[in-house]
Structure 1
Amino acid sequence: MSNYQRHQHSPVPPSNQQGAVLIVVLLFLILIILGGVIAVKQSTTDLKLATSDQINALLLQSADNANQNIEQSINGSSDADAYDAMISRGGPFGHFILTDFSIENEYVFCFRPRDQLFNINKTSIITPDGSLTSSGYCSPSKSDDYVSSRNTSMTQVNVALTPPNAENEAFGSYTIGQGSDLISSKAFMFDINSTAVLPAYGDTEVGGQDCFEQTSRLHTATTADYTDTIGGCMAKAGAPSKVVYEMADVQNQSLRTKCVDFGKGAGLLCTLPAS
């Protein structure tokens, strides 16, 4: 005789089934929310990177535009007004070539391409013991100081003589066969620092000090973070900026002769004039 037992399983109460479904739905909802948050953060990061690239491109273009205008003025026709303004006694190069001012001076002007390359009446001279004038610095409050009428970026140009270097050849800046007392026989090396800034994105002052009034000569900096230089000050203030450095060799091409040393290469030898 077989012993058969019948087992009966009680069905899961409907309330427990609904609770399990709710937990699963909540898990999917949390995953969807997390995916949305990650997507939003990624989009925000991409937007910041794109904005940063646009700002860097704008700053580089603004600073480089000033340097190109200076090059064109010097290398262009000597009859042009821009050339005369650059080389004149009140110009950024003539100030050092035609006067006896200290080699530590720094010539400053705000680049205003909508008006003219620079205005001699709106320049500043930074001296070792302070500024001689203060009308050349760029000012965020002046619409004319901006590169364009959109009042977005502005560029300040600082010109100074290149500091002496022990590696430079003695009398290498003088023309062979010309008297050293003649201004036209000497070549001058200049450091040109063009600083482009977006004042709308940050302050241009640190501790009450106007960053535009600081020097661009890094070798004269007295602070470890270079806050007493225009670039370091802008970085400390949080204002987006970019400094483009260029070394310019200003010389009288009508008197100077391009040649090579004796026995080296081909070309015109460095010989003294016959008379």
Structure 2
Amino acid sequence: MVRQHYSSSSINKKNHLNVIYRSSEQGATLIVVLLFLVLIMLAGAIAVKQSNTDLKIATADQIHTVLLQSSDSANQKLETMINGSPESEQYKDVTSAAGVFGHFLLNADNATNEFIYCFNPRTKKYLTADATVRQAAGGYWSSLNNGICDYTNAGDYTSARQTVMTQMSVTTTPPDANAEAFGQMVIGKEVEDRTSKKFQFDIRATSALPAYSEPKVSGDKCFGQTSISANVATGKKSLNDCMLAATTPSKMLYEQADVENVSSSTVCIPFGKGTLNAKCVLSTTP
């Protein structure tokens, strides 16, 4: 029988190598685990950032829609009143001397004024008593300054939710040097006739969400600023620029409208429908 003898020193050397190998193995595993943790954290951060971006896009789209609908609603209200029957109360209101259009139609001296009112579908705020009439040279026409929207007043919001506020600005369109000759005249009317002239108006409906950010810059309330860039005073901002500086979500909807001063008439010949209008019959009383 052959016996083999192993020295203790060789056995200890093998054990020492095994320990070194296992330590290296454990270090590599730790590095791999850490790399996976970093990748998971990066994936989570990217997912959160993407979610926030998607939320901001959705919110911005909702704000855009709400503001656009509010401005369009204010314009439609004005169009409905002026395009309605001349016999209706609303038509008579807006074309009267105290109305938003009558202010310009019935007095040529008011051509450069800016008629401002805070739109509220529940009240009549298109008359001078509830309006601000700003003069191009500065100051207010007849000291009227009641139409500026006040974001601290619940009654100036378009709805009871107190979310959106819409301010209207109406001015006559500045004369165009290249305009067609007699283009401002109504076809079929005499030049001397008071109702022969038609007017073109610039209508600006500005809607904002004061709850997101106070519409105020350096002590100046944005709704108190003019919408007409040419009328902005030195050191001041226009309504749009003020809203931008205040980071208040806002949108201005601009449109031009032609308005004719309709003359009243009486239909005398019913063409077989009903009886002759009594206003067309001459009186036989001496």
1:218 aligns with 2:229: yes
How many angstroms apart in 2 are the aligned matches of 1:187 and 1:180? 11
Q: CA deviation at 1:233?
A: 1.4
Summarize deviations over 1:187-222 as a string: whole Å, max 9, x none: 011100000011111121222222112222233346
- Which residue among 52, 61, 68 is the counterpart of 2:60? 52
Moved more, 61-70 or 245-254: 245-254
| Structure 1 residue identity aligned to 2:70 | S
Report the TM-score, using the length of structure 2 for normalisation.
0.79
Q: Is 1:71 aligned with 2:88?
A: no
> 1:153 aligned to 2:164?
yes
Given the superposition, is the C-alpha separation of residues 152 and 125 from structure 1 closer, same or farther in structure 2, using an over 3 Å criterion? Answer: same
Match of 1:139 among 132, 136, 150: 150
Sort the Cα spacing of 1:100 and 1:25 in 2 relative to 1 into closer, same or farther, 3 A: same
Measure, in 1, the Cα distance between the counterparts of 2:262 and 2:243.
38
1:135-178 deviations in Å (ceiling 9; x for gaps): 10111011111111110001100000100001112322123564
Q: How far is 1:129 from its partner?
A: 1.6
Name which of 123, 126, 130 aligns with 2:139. Answer: 130
Q: 2:26 aligns with which of 18, 29, 39?
A: 18
Q: Note if contact 2:168-2:205 (Cα within 8 Å) is conserved in structure 1.
A: yes
Answer whether contact 1:175 1:185 (CA < 8 A) is retained: yes
Contact 1:227 1:236 in 2 (8 A): no
Identity %: 46
CA contact (8 A) 1:155 1:195 kept: yes
Gaps of 5+ in 2: 1-12, 265-286
Q: Which amino acid aligns with 1:29?
A: L
Contact 1:202 1:238 in 2 (8 A): yes
Q: Matched residues in 1 for 2:109 and 2:165: separation?
A: 28
Larger Rg: 2
Cα 1:212/1:67, change in 2 over 3 Å:
same
3-state secondary structure, aligned to 2:118: strand
SS at match of 2:205: strand
State the TM-score, normalizing by the size of structure 1.
0.82
**Structure 2 residue 182 is matched with structure 1 residue 171:** yes
Q: Report the secondary structure of 2:51's partner residue.
A: helix
* Counterpart AA for 1:125: V
Q: Between Structure 1 and Structure 2, how many residues are aligned?
A: 246
Query: What residue ranges of structure 1 are gaps of 5+ in the alignment?
Result: 1-7, 256-275
Distance in 1 separating the partners of 2:69 and 2:236: 24
Partner residue, 2:259: 250
1:195 is the counterpart of 2:206:
yes
Off by >6 Å, runs of 4+ in structure 1: none
- The structure with the largest helix share of the pair is 2
Contact 2:186–2:260, Cα closer than 8 Å, also in 1:
no
Q: What's the secondary structure of 2:169's corresponding residue?
A: strand
CA-to-aligned-CA distance 1:205-248 (integer Å, 9 cap, x gap): 2222221122222333466xx95321121112211111101101
Alignment RMSD = 2.2
Most deviating of 148-157 and 77-86: 77-86
> Match of 2:246?
237
